Structure 1
Amino acid sequence: MSKVSAIICITLIASMAIQPSEAGVGQWIVGAAVGVTTVAIAPAALGFGALGIASGSIGAAMMSASAIANGGGVLTGGVVATLQSVGVAGASYATYAKAAAAGGAATDYLFED
């Protein structure tokens, strides 16, 4: 199964796992898709990629600020390290599932009648 197919399946499963309001199922699925898409493209948009952090990007500024704040090093497991890891290897299926659930629930909450 390709990663895209798996992400679509995760989005649909997550949409069934949480009970959206009756009128908002379509909105919930759209929110879930937005959540998954955000996790997939945000690191690259910030400059975190397979070849490292792009020079002059927001990611570079984040790394610089993190290094200055931590005495010259970037914290293991911190935001910058996590975004770089996702930029190189992609997120885990569990992360995509959480993003789908969060996006769907947020949309359901924001647009509930």
Structure 2
Amino acid sequence: MDLVTIIAVTAAAGGAVVLAPVALGAVGFTAAGIAANSVAAGMMASAATASGGGVLAGSTVAVLQSAGAAGLAGSTTAVVAGVGGAVGWLTATAAALI
């Protein structure tokens, strides 16, 4: 791997880990709960309607709210960093082809 690719992978992995909690808050998954009139509120309403009135434990909405309230678990942080690193590698590879 060349230096540019290494930098891209590292920056993207780090950026993904830093920005994931920001993105969760921006769409309404906050430490205080799901923000009113947000994307998260719409997701929660849809999930509750689909499951007969409640949000199921382990569902996407429940997991995202947990991460928004308590932060990312170590295993989740590793996954987010891995996805960010993969995006960085793909970006560097595509840029090298141009």
TM interval, shorter chain, is 0.7 to 0.9
Percent identical residues:
39
> How far apart in 1 are the matches of 2:24 and 2:56?
17
Q: How many angstroms does 1:54 deviate by?
A: 0.9
Per-residue CA distance 1:27-74 (angstroms, 9 max, x = gap): 111111222123221221111112211111111011001111111111
Tell whether 2:35 aligns with 1:54: yes
* 1:31-110 correspondence to structure 2 within 5 Å: 31-110=12-91
Q: How many angstroms does 1:90 deviate by?
A: 0.7
Tell whether 2:26 aligns with 1:22: no
> How far apart in 1 are the matches of 2:43 and 2:19?
19
Secondary structure at the residue paired with 2:76?
Answer: helix
Q: TM-score, normalised by structure 2?
A: 0.85
State the AA in 1 paired with 2:23.
A
Q: How many angstroms does 1:101 deviate by?
A: 1.6
Mean Cα deviation higher: 103-112 or 72-81: 103-112
What is residue 111 of structure 1 aligned with on the other side? 92
Q: How many angstroms does 1:91 deviate by?
A: 0.8
Q: TM-score, normalised by structure 1?
A: 0.75
| Aligned CA-pair RMSD | 1.3
Secondary structure at the residue paired with 1:94?
Answer: helix
Unmatched 5+ stretches in structure 2: none
Query: In the comparison of the two structures, how many residue pairs are matched?
Result: 93
Secondary structure at the residue paired with 1:55?
Answer: coil
